Amino acid sequence: MLTYPSSISGAETLQTGISKFISTHNITIMSDFVSDIKNIPHSQETVYEYLSDLNNLSQVKERLKDPVFQERLQQEADKYHTGDIREKLDKISFDRDSLSFSGSPVGDVSLRIIEREEPKTIKFEGEHTPIGITMWIQLIPVDENSCKMKLTLRAELNMFIRGMVSKPLQQGVDTIANILASLPYKID
């Protein structure tokens, strides 16, 4: 039988035991980070068509030449203290099924489309990421000229790092959702 000094309460003993168990067993839990629902003044089909081919996002980089668009995008980034948005966009590359970020603190990472459910869901999976992540965009029609969008990121997090990364991950989801909601959704 284990005995503990009388100054340690039962709750402290339990907490210590749980902490030791988790640290020796590397327990991870799935955590969801969900954006607010965004209204988009374009049809569900138009938004789906645009976002399901990630080459279309390269237009965002081109639009940075427009000072009005640049300012609006930077204001959104400033809400979350994410720094110079132009610098970050310069490090992103696209193809039909993936977008890659170079020069991140953990190296080059990518999001690859793994499932398309026309016209309502686009699901991504992280590649070369330090944690397992899945992200999906859900689109729901409001009427023939508008839809609602929600972005969800599911991350496999160790309980100890969850507290440290939850806020930045939520901010990232919110920033991405706001940017996606403000896109022009015109395919040239």
50 in a domain, yes or no? yes
Q: Domain tally for the chain?
A: 1
d(CA 166, CA 168): 6
Instruction: Calculate the dihedral angle through the C-alpha atoms of 116, 176, 139, 153, rounding to the nearest 10 degrees.
Output: 60
Give mean pLDDT in consecutive 10-residue pieces for the chain, a chain of 188 residues.
54 61 68 97 97 87 74 70 65 89 75 97 94 96 97 92 89 90 80
DSSP letter for each residue of 27-75:
-EEEEEEEPPPEEESS-HHHHHHHHTSGGGGHHHHHHTTSHHHHHHHHH
Give me the CATH number covering residue 70. Answer: 3.30.530.20
Contact 83, 77 (CB under 8 A): yes
- Specify the pLDDT at position 113: 98
Q: What number of CA atoms fall less than 13 Å from residue 30's CA on the CB side?
A: 8
| Main-chain phi, psi angles of 39, to 5 degrees | -90, 130
10 in a domain, yes or no? no
- Specify the pLDDT at position 23: 55
- Specify the pLDDT at position 29: 86
- Specify the pLDDT at position 144: 96
